[in-house]
Chains A and B, each alone.
Chain A
Amino acid sequence: MAYTVSRNIKLTWWERLYLPEVIRGIIITSRHFFKNLFGFIPFFLGKKKDREIFTVYYPEQMAKLPIAYRGRPVLAVNEKGRHNCVACGLCEAACPAYCIDIIPAENTGKQNEVERWPKEFTIDYAVCIFCGNCEEACPEEAIFMSDDFEISMLDRSKMKYNLQQLSVPIEKLKDRIEFTRRMYGKWNY
């Protein structure tokens, strides 16, 4: 969809007078001013819901993030309490920043057990660039980008999250799973 911007706008004589357009601009800003003034400066006069303020009081309120938002990558834990991850190492290979570290474990012949699982799974958020390539590479719907972005630490070593810290129940990731299926078309081939 080509979007063209006309750079050579010929001003009409009314616009070239400058003053009327200035007054028009001032009327627009003043309208916003008075509308908002009775909306929230005396907060008891206006209805909080109807106001047109975009600002979110961050630590107290959270902004509603779009589902495509790429926060920290997490590992999904399915209904049986096991990780979806099979420790194939594709995310490790896809990671451009080399922040993922996997030590796999294998089934040694037990019946009714999964074949492979990650013994250790470490993501260093200090290195992660939040590109989402791990999510795209994952064949098992195991790793997802969550909407959590509050991962600042005072100590760099604490930025390394292990398997337990990374685990998130799959119910919390429902929307993101839908989104990835739509986005990457994983189940279409």
Chain B
Amino acid sequence: MFDINWIELFVTLVKIGFILFVTVGFFAPILTWVERKQSAIMQDRIGANRADIMGFTALGLFHILADGLKMFTKEDFIPDGANRVLHTMSPIIALIPAIVTFAVVPFGGVYDLFGVKVNLVVSDLDVGLLFVFAIASLATYGYAIAGWSSNNNWSLLGSLRVASQMISYEVTMGLTIVGVLMVYGTMKLTEIGAAQESLWMWGIFLQPVGFFMFFAASIAENKRIPFDNPEAESELVAGYFTEYSGLKFGMFFMAEFIEMVTIAAIVTILFFGAWHIPFLTTETLLSWFHILGTTGANLIVMLIHVGVFFAKVIFFIWFQMTIRWTLPRFRYDQIMKLGWKILLPLSLANILVTGIVILAVK
């Protein structure tokens, strides 16, 4: 008969629940508020603060509720001539990969809790990094189908731009992480994270050029300003989701925000020491709390590490928001030029230099 490891099943379910809570339940709604409020603060404005419950505005946090209510109650409109099946499916195709990529993202190390080794990742795949890019690229189908099925010229143009941009920057992204793989010698995100225990092993010091290229390429993948040609408001109304309303529109937005979190998490793991605190190894932390027993110390260290990891993620979300509200949009030819003529040769050169340095060090 099947030999089900109930403890492992329980632990995995808890981790899945945690990931779903953090992405869909916390980050996706809170980022709609953060985007408005941060842009307002950066531009010397006040920002959303009018939605109130019994006179309390809570800094505009109730706008999240108001938005959700509005999206639920709005008419779900499908235009004439649209492909109804694909039109309904495409937001799902766009949203699901954004959440699924989190399956391989580790948000902490391995901890010894109640005699069980708890690895803080839902699925510790050997090809974790490849899985992230494979699944994230699937979201492109959602955007391309959304544009095509809407029977709208703006949508079609937007989805064509999504496809071309995705192809251009996927190459750079893939070649950039080759440098990271060469340095750490593994594709497991957990091992890459564990390898960055000391500050000087962080990816930003080993792959400084790689970080900038990866970050630029991943923002381009997420179609945010300065690479937001697919949804350029001033050119294409709203790009591929022009014909979407209600909760389907909300799903596209959720996908964008969750992808932001994914990018922040991947950048944190690859380049910024994952869940590690600079100059504080896990052993040091464990020895501080060893009076609490193995489980207690591990529990506290686990909470610290998860907190540190999400603090870093939040920093990178903030950074992406800052970039989004600082830079103007690229022209289409500029995006292609940057992708093919600058980033691609640079990433190839990055691999070459990394290889030479690794050879020289060995």
Contact = CB atoms under 8 A, between A and B. Distances in A.
Interface stretch (B15-23, B38-46, B248-256): B38-46
A30 interface: yes
Interface string B31-66: 000000110011111100000000000010000000
17 contacts: A19-B212, A22-B323, A22-B327, A26-B322, A29-B42, A29-B322, A30-B42, A32-B41, A32-B43, A32-B44, A33-B38, A33-B322, A41-B41, A53-B44, A53-B45, A54-B45, A55-B46
Given A32-B41, A32-B42, A40-B46, 16 more contacts: A22-B326, A22-B327, A26-B322, A29-B42, A29-B325, A32-B43, A33-B38, A36-B41, A36-B42, A37-B41, A41-B37, A53-B44, A53-B45, A54-B44, A55-B45, A55-B46
A22 B215 CA distance: 13
A140 interface: no
A52 interface: yes
B199 to A, nearest CB: 22
B323 to A, nearest CB: 7
Question: Which residue of A29, A41, A53, A57 has the most chain B CB atoms within 10 A of its CB atom?
Answer: A29
Nearest to A55: B46
B307 to A, nearest CB: 21
Interface residues of B, number: 15
A25 interface: yes
Contacts of B212: 19
A25 B327 contact: yes
Interface string A12-52: 00000001001001101110110011001100000000001
B339 to A, nearest CB: 14
A40 B38 CA distance: 12
A133 B322 CA distance: 47
A53 B49 CA distance: 14
Contacts of B323: 22, 26
Interface string B318-345: 0000110111000000000000000000
Contacts of A53: 44-46
Interface residues of A, number: 18
B73 to A, nearest CB: 25
Contacts of A55: 45-46
Contacts of A30: 42, 322
A25 B44 contact: no
Contact of B42 (A19, A33, A41, A57): A33
A26 B326 contact: yes
Interface in A52-68: 52-55, 57
Contacts of A40: 46
A55 B60 CA distance: 15
A53 to B, nearest CB: 6
Nearest to A30: B322
A29 B326 contact: yes
Contact of B41 (A22, A26, A33): A33
Contacts of A54: 44-45
A134 B327 CA distance: 47
A156 B289 CA distance: 75
A30 B42 CA distance: 7
A33 B326 CA distance: 11
Contacts of A52: 44
Contacts of B41: 32-33, 36-37, 41
The 7 lowest CB-CB distance pairs between A and B, nearest first, are A55-B46, A29-B326, A36-B41, A33-B42, A25-B326, A29-B42, A55-B45
Interface in B144-198: none
A41 B60 CA distance: 10
A131 B212 CA distance: 54
B59 to A, nearest CB: 7
A53 B44 CA distance: 5
Question: Which residue of B45, B46, B325 has the most chain A CB atoms within 10 A of its CB atom?
Answer: B46
Nearest to B45: A55
A36 B327 contact: no
A22 B44 CA distance: 20
A33 B322 CA distance: 9
A92 B245 CA distance: 50
A74 B274 CA distance: 68
Contacts of B38: 33
Contacts of B45: 53-55
